[in-house]
Amino acid sequence: MNDSLSSLKSSEPSTERPRKVMPTWVIPAAIALGFALLFLLLFRDRLLPATEVRVAVVLSIPAPKSELDALQNNETSANDSKSWQAAMAFQASGWVEPEPLPIKATALTPGVVESVHVLEGEAVTKGQLLATLIRDDTELALKAATSALATKQAALSAQKQVIAAAVAQRQAQAALLDEAADRLKRIENLPSGALSETELTTIRSASQKAIAAQQAAAAEVMRASAQLEVIKSEIAMAQVAVDTAKLAHERTEIRSPIEGRILSLRAVPGQKKMLNMDEEDSATIASLYQPDKLQVRVDVPLADAAGLQIGQLARIKCNLLPDTTFRGVVTRINGEADISRNTLQAKVSIEKPSELLRPEMLCRVEFLQSHRKPKSGSMEASDTTGSLVTWAPSKALQGNSAWICDPQSKRIERRAIEASSTTREGHTLIRSGLKPGEWVVISPAADLKEGQRVNPQLIKP
């Protein structure tokens, strides 16, 4: 029975599948494939061919001061044209006045006005005669001072003659002294008893007198020389008196200190003008101003004064010229408010005022929400270093952008720039966006892509 059962089991087909054995080459192949994929991932850029491009260096060169100022002025004008379109912050009323202050023509010598040669509102040139004082007394004072000077000069000439005579007398006395000394010497060498005591005493006395006379002549020369110096000092004082009288005589003609317009007259014929008086205009002939230098005196309400700043732009309108809008800039803010009117006063300079504007005309000032930047900061630090400006090849610019190449990674990127209209020798002035020493792609192809690897060929300037 058992044999039959075992024979039946052995006769049944086996249902178990044979085990598959992995080939031994699979694992090394997978490792090699992994290393190949990693190598391809890391070095695929070097394996693929790079696009060849020509690059040039961004230059930074010194600019002449005149050229740099012109560039900054052009940029300031462009920025200002945008700033004037800013919204209005607040507005206030004001009055036109001279900037910074009116200028007075003053009589610097006291006198009585003889004639006035100009009228209010009249345009005058620098040095033009405005008024004349009565000149009779100053003419007499000048003549007297001139005569006194001539007298002193004549005394100087006479004193020089006195000195010449004193010098001649001193020379004569010196000769007599030499003669007396020689005679005394010869007598003293004679043997004893050759001359009597009376003769010896007379000779010795004559020698002493010659010495005294010579000393007196020398003293006279010194006294005459000292007197000459005194006369010279008197002549200098007389010359000062002449200059003073001449200056006072010239000051009787009061002339305009500037080229401008008469704001107001403070003199009429027959009026007395005096310096060092308590009255403010006791010596003033006229007040003047320059028509091209005007400002607006604005009373800003304290509710709006918080938005008032130095350098703030403003638009100015006047009923005299209703269709004209003037540009202005806040130049000063008073240090004290007006408690009675509850306002703070500010000064707004008018740019290019009209010839029709006159002081004390009423204006309306609109203060804008923008400010004027100083000229020194108009160009960016990347554009200038001191007096350096940045230039890039014009062929590298594509409107407001350029392709920049990194020398290390040799990849390119597109960067926005701001170029000016100034060109020189194939280069364009760059205001912002590029730095000196960077590489820019010249005549870039249209199929360049951001981050693309390239083969740069540097072109030296």
Per-residue pLDDT reduced to its tens digit, 324-349: 889 888 988 888 888 888 888 999 99
pLDDT range class, residue 362, cuts 50, 70, 90: very high
Reply yes or no on whether the pLDDT at 223 is more than 60: yes
Q: How far apart are CA 45 and CA 348, in angstroms?
A: 64
- Least confident window among 128-132, 169-173, 199-203: 199-203
Q: 53: burial class by Cβ within 10 Å (0-12, 13-18, 19+)?
A: buried
Mean pLDDT of 164-179: 72
pLDDT for res 61: 72
pLDDT for residue 379:
41
Worst-scoring range by mean pLDDT, 26-40, 136-150, 383-397? Answer: 383-397
- Position 315 pLDDT exceeds 80: yes
Structure tokens at 117: 């040669």
Rounded distance between C-alpha atoms, residue 406 and residue 424, angstroms: 26
Output the six-digit token pair for 240: 């000062």
Question: Is the pLDDT reported for residue 21 higher than 70?
Answer: no
Q: 352: exposed, middle or buried (C-beta count within 10 Å: 0-12, 13-18, 19+)?
A: exposed
Whether pLDDT at 158 is above 70: yes
Q: Please, are residues 55 and 457 in contact by the beta-carbon 8 Å criterion?
A: yes
Q: How far is CA 67 from the centre of its chain?
A: 16
Average pLDDT over residues 134-143: 88
Q: Helix and strand tally (H, E) in the chain?
A: 5, 24
Q: How many CB atoms are located within 10 Å of the residue 309 CB?
A: 12
3-state secondary structure of 377: helix
pLDDT bucket at 207, cuts 50 / 70 / 90: low
| Per-residue pLDDT, 400 | 82
- What average pLDDT is seen over the chain? 78
Sorted by where each starts, the structural domains of the chain and their CATH numbers stand as 51-63+384-458 (2.40.420.20), 86-100+293-372 (2.40.30.170), 103-133+252-287 (2.40.50.100), 137-250 (1.10.287)
Quick one: 291 exposed, middle or buried, by C-beta within 10 A (0-12, 13-18, 19+)?
Answer: middle
Share of residues in the chain with pLDDT > 70 (%): 75
Q: Looking at the DSSP assignment, which residues form a beta bridge with residue 390?
A: 60, 430
- Integer angstrom CA distances of residue 408 from 242, 455, 456: 84, 11, 11
The answer, yes or no, to whether residue 374 has pLDDT greater than 50, is no
Of the ranges 53-67, 191-205, 249-263, 291-305, which one carries the lowest mean pLDDT score?
A: 191-205
- In this predicted structure, what is the pLDDT of residue 183? 66
pLDDT in tens, 186-201: 666 666 655 566 666 6
CB atoms within 10 A of CB 180: 21
Where does the pLDDT of residue 57 fall: very low under 50, low under 70, confident under 90, or very high at 90 and above?
confident
> Could you tell me which residue, 176 or 162, shows the higher pLDDT?
162
User: What distance in Å separates the CA atoms of residue 349 and residue 332, rounded to the nearest whole number?
Assistant: 9
Q: What share of residues in the chain are helix, strand, coil (percent, to 5)?
A: 35, 30, 30
Answer with the residue of higher pLDDT: 84 or 321.
321
- 203 burial level (CB within 10 Å; 0-12, 13-18, 19+): middle
Q: What is the DSSP string of 77-128?
A: HHHHHHHTTSPEEEEEEEEEEESS--EEEE-SS-EEEEEE---TT-EE-TT-
Q: Looking at the predicted structure, is the pLDDT value of residue 20 above 80?
A: no
- Which pLDDT value is given to residue 203? 65
CA distances 295 to 100, 259, 286, 354, 371, Å, are 8, 18, 20, 12, 17
Amino acid at 356: L
Q: Is the pLDDT of residue 48 over 50?
A: yes
pLDDT surpasses 60 at 385? no
The stretch 249-274 carries a mean pLDDT of: 88
Q: Is the pLDDT of residue 403 over 50?
A: yes
CA pair distance 342, 364, nearest whole angstrom: 18
Going by C-alpha positions, the residue among 75, 56, 58 that lies closest to residue 380 is 75
How confident is the model at residue 64, as a pLDDT? 57
pLDDT, residue 382, reads: 38
Q: Which residues contact 444 (CB under 8 A, 6 or more apart)?
A: 53, 396, 398, 403
**Phi/psi at 287 (5° precision):** -105, 135
State mean pLDDT over 120-140: 89
Over residues 286-294, the mean pLDDT reads 90
